[in-house]
Amino acid sequence: MKKSILLLAISLVLSFLISAQEKAPNKDSIKNKIVSGKTITISGVLQPRYTVSLTPGVDVNGAHFDSAAKAINNNFSLRRVRFQVKAQLNEHFEAGILVNFAEFAGNPTGKVLENAFVKYNMNRHFHLMAGQFRPFIGIEDVIPADLIRSVDFTNGYYSFGRNGWQSFQAGVAVFGDISKKLRYYAGVHNGNSRNQTTDNDNRKHVYGRLEADIAKNIILGANAGYGSFKNIKGDMYGADVKSSFILGNNWHFDLDMAYKNGTNFLYFDTLKIKPALKDIRISNFYAIPIIRHDFHLPRLKSIEFSNRYEYLTESNLYHPNPRQTFTPMLGFEFVEKFSAFFQIGAVIDAYKNNIPKTTTYSHNTMVAQLQLRF
């Protein structure tokens, strides 16, 4: 814990040393309402989805059954029903709350509330956030919660989230611009997921990240951290590249790639006979190329095709069972800024070793979903 506080203190001091007194601009593009000198921003997203299992004996959630008749092979669902409120109190202070009402469809314990934070903006060099939010560990963490260009976040994102490295966590973070082409992020959080009354030990997850614009349309990022779960100490590290290119004649090409490696606390904690902790690490790589063509028609703004590839193993050396996933998707943008975005595609999952009667089983799924942002 002392190391966590020391690291955060150093980050704060460095941030103040490089800071200049510049006002941070308010970049909110959604309709605002002025209330007693405060700016209130209300937004949301609705994401209905239809899913069909294409593999006999495997249901829409990827679970294998001994009889194909027992598997529910198609389903309508609401993947996300998010409602967000942001308040700009003045040029320096703001707050945000994000809830996902779709979580009530299952057991809502520890869910529903996603973001709940306060933010202090001194200038472009120094921002401070406190509360519950997504730590800045990789490029998926800065994807807006109401806009997903593929069918969903990666499997690795959720695995790292369960282990306290990504997804919604409670803590504090500082970030800002070091220069026009270099940015920093640093933070401390509990590392035991969201909406928990207390941490599960006295240690915290600590991380740092740097991002650099190495070319006009290419951003390189690197991050590292350490943490613990029930006093099991571990670490993580990763790197990523984000690029975007204009091909001409309204054609665009985007390519995101990321690699992360980190301790799998949860899996290690379940084992009665403990192997070496270094043998139980999550290793994840993904790449998502997106080809987009803009039409700018009254009812069709663009069409895009993506095919994300992901490699994931949740135990790198102790009984590893790699999982490879291809996610080809075809998307139609009907309202600008993806405010109405329809997607149809497939999720093709392949495990090295299938385990019958579990979700660790190779399968193919067709997905159609509509994202409405307001």
Tokens for 253, please give them.
């090409």
Question: Which ranges of the chain would DSSP assign to H, the alpha helix?
Answer: 2-18, 155-162, 265-270
Q: Where are the domains of the chain?
A: 2-373
Cα separation of 189 and 340, whole Å?
Answer: 35
For the cut 60, the answer to whether the pLDDT of residue 271 exceeds it is yes
b/e burial code for range 81-96 (CB count within 10 A of at least 16 → b): bbebebebeeeeebbb
For the cut 70, the answer to whether the pLDDT of residue 115 exceeds it is yes
Q: Tell me the helix, strand and coil percentages in the chain, rounded to 5.
A: 15, 55, 35
Average pLDDT over residues 270-288: 95
**Average predicted confidence (pLDDT) for the chain:** 89
H/E run at residue 226: strand 218-229
Of 2.40.160.10, 3.30.460.20, 3.40.50.150, 1.10.10.350, the CATH number of 2-373 is 2.40.160.10
Q: If we measure between CA atoms, which residue out of 234, 223, 215, 221 comes closest to residue 282?
A: 234
Phi first, then psi: what are they for 100, rounded to 5°?
-120, 100
Tokens for 264, please give them.
């799998």
For 81-97, the pLDDT digits (tens) are 999 999 999 999 999 99
The pTM score is: 0.87
The pLDDT value recorded for residue 150 is 87
The pLDDT value recorded for residue 29 is 38
Contact 217, 243 (CB under 8 A): yes
- In terms of Cβ atoms closer than 10 Å to its own Cβ (0-12, 13-18, 19+), residue 144 is exposed
The pLDDT value recorded for residue 35 is 56
For 26-81, the pLDDT digits (tens) are 434 334 555 556 899 999 999 999 999 999 999 999 999 988 778 899 999 999 99
Handedness of CA 12, 14, 20, 23 (dihedral sign): negative
Cα separation of 373 and 219, whole Å?
Answer: 27
How many CB atoms neighbour CB 357 within 10 A?
11
Of the pLDDT bands very low, low, confident and very high (cuts 50, 70, 90), residue 10 is: very low
